[in-house]
Amino acid sequence: MSGKLIRGAGILMPISSLPSPYGIGTLGKEAYRFADWLCEAGQRYWQVLPVGPTSFGDSPYQSFSAFAGNPYFIDLDTLIEEGLIDRECVSEAGADGEEDRVDYSRLFDSRFKILKKAYGRSGHKGEREYISFCEKNSFWLDDYALFMALKEHFDNRSWTEWDEDIRFRRADRVAFYRESLAYEIDFWRFCQYKFFEQWGRLKKYVNERGIKIIGDIPLYVSLDSADVWACNHLFEMDERRRPVCVAGVPPDCFSEDGQLWGNPIYNWEAMEREHFDWWRKRMNSCAALYDVIRIDHFIGIVRYYAIPADSVNAKTGEWRTGPGRKLTDIISDSVGDASIIAEDLGVIVPPVRELIEETGWPGMKIFEFAFDGQPYNEYLPHNYKNPNCVLYAGTHDNDTIKGFVDKAYDHQKAQVMDYIGAGDISEIPRRMIQAAYMSIADAVIIQMQDVLELGTEARMNTPSTIGANWQWRARLEQIDHNDAAWLRKYAGIYGRSL
């Protein structure tokens, strides 16, 4: 049975959003400095977004693998200290970038050149730790490394556009490419070795300071992923290995066309025939990465929305019954002492609530959803009946508190100010955080942008849009002692302090 959350407070700060001189946050010194800042601020939790390698659109929820780590997060200063690259190499590759935004196209052009130089100088192949890492993770690493080498070979096109023989994984062609692309395959293994080596050191440092890392995992995997290519039978695909149906959500008050995510739907019958082995391995891997695992779109385990793959929007989908308790039992058995958070936002039907109660996993509350003028709104803290929940002011899919208030109607602003006791609109971000800390919710997680009182310009993601998401970064000087002091003060007052 997964562990229970301790009453506490935490910060949602993606690895990509950390300060660094290299265009994106990494697992280097600023990650350690942020852990120290969390400790100074009395925080018990550090929540990150999915850490997998990102694909088209740069979303961490659309990854090339459900198991791999993002090579962009490998810290270059650490590689310099290890003698694998030099500073001139980093400068020549143009690894620097804007302080407060991630330029993913620039990263794609520069970062792998640097990592390949590090790979060329590395003596990792004979190291006992590397050999052990490859053996322990062979169930996903071998297919992932081959998949990435093949993507390079086929000009980074989706695997659905590769030559048919390898798209269908004909044994003779798999063997041919494993031999002909051996150097490239080992490069991708090397990247994973370095990612997990650096992640392990950071996690140990964070945990030693009494802080737990909350990791976010998407329910579905990307179509263009090693998982779907290598385990095609576990997804609803036709004889041409094309999706029959894809995931999404139906039209609602936020989107008249619904959301067409495009992820392939699981073949739950095939999953069950294999005793959910893929899920067991996935959750076991997540439990090694994180102390707490937030399952995004948890309601899809109970019932999921399947949209014909040729649809132009999400209006034509249908609801189907998911595996429910069969899968949650497997998850519980696979995560050991790690805790689970069930992202239960959306249209909640009784079976979803029943399953969450049966598992004992905490669901989620969103403070920004609370202000519709009704005193009985379920997201208002005075209506919480059970402390076994996680309260967010807003998630990565919501506007910042300041952005939310700036766009709110006058009557909403008035309700917010009355509810949290703000004398002026400028007081709302801190007053809302204080009110959240005051609630009975076991855990309160606040986006770093809200601690810094930033507006919509710092929003992480706007659902159903691409092109300007996942880019926000904190500048080094923004993570200061003053913010740590007031967070620690209120965490202490309301029994959440580390």
Q: How far is CA 161 from the centre of its chain?
A: 27
Residue 397 appears among annotated catalytic residues: yes
**325 φ, ψ to 5°?**
-60, -30
Q: Tell me if residue 339 falls in helix, strand or coil.
A: strand
Q: Tell me if residue 266 falls in helix, strand or coil.
A: strand
Q: Choose the catalytic residue: 30, 75, 296, 450.
A: 296
Q: What are the residues whose beta carbons fall under 8 Å from the beta carbon of 355, sequence distance 6 or more?
A: 301, 302, 324, 325, 328
Residue 296 appears among annotated catalytic residues: yes
**482 φ, ψ to 5°?**
-65, -45
Q: How far is CA 391 from the centre of its chain?
A: 18
Backbone dihedral region of 45: left (phi > 0), alpha (psi from -120 to 50 degrees) or beta? beta
Tell me how far CA of residue 157 lies from CA of 150, 245, 338, 362, in angstroms. 9, 21, 37, 40
Judged on CB neighbours under 10 Å (0-12, 13-18, 19+), 337 is: exposed
Please provide the DSSP assignment of 433-450 as one string. Answer: HHHHHHSS-SEEEEEHHH
Distance of alpha carbon 14 from alpha carbon 17, whole angstroms: 5
Q: Choose the catalytic residue: 216, 227, 291, 343.
A: 343
Distance of alpha carbon 354 from alpha carbon 165, whole angstroms: 46
Residue 163 appears among annotated catalytic residues: no
Q: Choose the catalytic residue: 40, 77, 397, 453.
A: 397
Q: Tell me if residue 163 falls in helix, strand or coil.
A: coil
- Please check whether residue 420 is in contact with residue 432, taking contact to mean a CB–CB distance below 8 angstroms: yes
Segment holding 259, helix H or strand E: strand 259-264
Distance of alpha carbon 360 from alpha carbon 426, whole angstroms: 38
**Structure-block tokens of residue 370:** 């609370």
Q: Annotated active-site positions, please? A: 296, 343, 397
